[in-house]
DNA sequence: AATTTTATTGAACAATATGTTCTATAATAA
DNA sequence: TTATTATAGAACATATTGTTCAATAAAATT
């Protein structure tokens, strides 16, 4: 990809993220975005069909980055702590959040946070399915599998929401423990 | 309230709800609403400051109606089944949903369903707090109360979501059982 | 280094949506 | 009957969207 394209794309994402932390998506105008990003109007529309597409692509880029380490091969991702631990994947996600990569926390706290939590939960569904063995033991036989997967993904999402709403006072380890106690 | 006002208000709510089941909030225009509701433009704006206010008032009216029976005095609300049963409140909510009062199911299935689930969960927070005794026993002492309340309200919300997504094949009783097994 | 290709700019543009204002008319209340 | 209040409908200014185009600047190719 052309360096100019990359710079433009990044500038737009950055401006958009900053705006999202201050006002709701529906109240943000293209004029504001391009002014903050300092790019021309035609440039914006050559990159993104509409404002909605910009949002979708931001989400996709963001969560692809956060979840890529967890999907499949763990070896490509080197860390101090043990990624191989049975419950390490979820702790790992919490640590990523604490580091606030890509200013994801702003998006989880903004007016349209539901939207981002929705995407987060969607990705979690896959992750939970891949690690079902962790949770099979606690599953009552009367509970349908689809219910159980949704329940675990939701519980993790809500745990994160609670953590962020409470100013992230607890350590990722404590939060992970809460999650496993609740589920 | 003037009969004309009531009719106008109801017509707008009805048109708006129908539109919401077909397209997203952001794509619905005031022109569409007033055409479907068959009221004048000035009339619409004399009732609702903006489209956003219309949405808020719809939510408020909707959930006030669904939850009013559960808040405080149960005697004002007469039913065949036993409202006084310890876990009856949640079963009751599920039965309300099944009856589809106020076409609430359309709103839970529409593109902007997150929004309505959000309001639903907000109301549940209060309800859960009022019935905390039901869940105190299962709460691990390590889990903060705020976490626990959010967890229960979320689990119920997600149970409802799962139920609706799965075409509501199960009976309210079965779903209530799932909820209590999961939480 | 010279040339070609590609991205960006900025302005102008039509199309659409918003929210306001006004007068005439019809329904309700006194 | 009279006074009050809600509505209709049109006209209006304003703002936003998404497109187009010619000029310019940056990057890739030869």
**pLDDT (tens digit per residue) in B60-72:** 999 888 888 776 5
Q: Tell me what pLDDT residue A84 has.
A: 53
- Measure the N-to-C terminal CA separation of chain A; round to a whole number of Å: 44
Residue span of the structural domain in which A17 resides: 3-48
Per-residue pLDDT band for B1 (boundaries 50, 70, 90) equals: confident
Asked whether residue B102 falls in the same domain as residue B13, the answer is: no
Asked whether residue A157 falls in the same domain as residue A108, the answer is: yes
Query: Is the Cβ pair B143, A178 closer than 8 Å?
Result: yes
Answer whether residue A28 is part of any domain: yes
Whole-number Å distance between alpha carbons of A74 and B113: 35
Asked whether residue B31 falls in the same domain as residue B82, the answer is: no
Number of domains in chain A: 2
Asked whether residue A100 falls in the same domain as residue A161, the answer is: yes
Sign of CA pseudo-dihedral A30, A32, A38, A41: positive
Asked whether residue A93 falls in the same domain as residue A178, the answer is: yes
Asked whether residue A38 falls in the same domain as residue A70, the answer is: no
Residue B39: name the closest of B51, B49, B31 by CA. Answer: B31
Answer whether residue A56 is part of any domain: no
Q: Which of A26, A150, A166 sits opposite B162 (nearest CB)?
A: A150
Distance from CA of A57 to the nearest CA of B (A): 18
Question: Does the CB of B47 have a partner CB in chain A at under 8 Å?
Answer: no
| H-state helical runs in B69-141 | 88-99, 104-109, 113-130, 133-136
**The nucleotide closest to B6 (CA, C1' atoms):** D6
Answer whether residue B56 is part of any domain: no
Length of chain B, please? 183
Q: Tell me what pLDDT residue A67 has.
A: 86
Calculate the angstrom distance between C1' of D23 and CA of A11: 24
Asked whether residue A33 falls in the same domain as residue A114, the answer is: no
- Measure the N-to-C terminal CA separation of chain B; round to a whole number of Å: 44
Asked whether residue A115 falls in the same domain as residue A36, the answer is: no
Query: Is the Cβ pair B178, A143 closer than 8 Å?
Result: yes
Residue A147: name the closest of B98, B121, B160 by CA. Answer: B160
Work out the mean pLDDT of chain A and round it to a whole number: 91
Asked whether residue A20 falls in the same domain as residue A77, the answer is: no
Answer whether residue B131 is part of any domain: yes
- Listing DSSP states for B142-159 in one string gives TS-HHHHHHHHHHHHHHH
pLDDT in tens, B111-157: 999 999 999 999 999 999 999 999 998 999 999 999 999 999 999 99
**Better-predicted residue by pLDDT, B7 or A101:** B7
Q: Which of B114, B151, B162 sits opposite A155 (nearest CB)?
A: B151
Answer whether residue A54 is part of any domain: no
Asked whether residue A11 falls in the same domain as residue A67, the answer is: no
What is this structure's pTM? 0.91
Asked whether residue A74 falls in the same domain as residue A7, the answer is: no
């Amino acid at each position: 990809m052309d360096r100019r394209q990359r710079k433009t794309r990044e500038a737009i994402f950055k401006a958009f993220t900053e705006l999202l932390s201050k006002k709701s998506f529906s109240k943000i105008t293209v004029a504001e975005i391009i002014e903050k990003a300092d790019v021309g109007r035609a440039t914006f529309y050559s990159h993104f069909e509409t404002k909605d597409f910009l949002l979708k692509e931001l989400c996709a880029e963001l969560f692809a980055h956060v979840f890529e380490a967890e999907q499949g091969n763990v070896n490509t991702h080197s860390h101090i702590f043990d990624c191989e631990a049975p419950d390490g994947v979820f702790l790992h996600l919490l640590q990523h959040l604490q580091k606030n990569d890509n200013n994801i926390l702003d998006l989880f706290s903004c007016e349209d946070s539901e939207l981002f939590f929705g995407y987060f939960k969607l990705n979690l569904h896959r992750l939970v399915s891949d690690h079902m063995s962790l949770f099979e033991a606690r599953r009552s036989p009367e509970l349908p599998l689809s219910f159980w997967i949704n329940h675990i993904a939701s519980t993790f999402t809500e745990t994160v929401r609670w953590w962020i709403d409470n100013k992230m006072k607890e350590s990722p380890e404590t939060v992970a423990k809460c999650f496993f106690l609740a589920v």
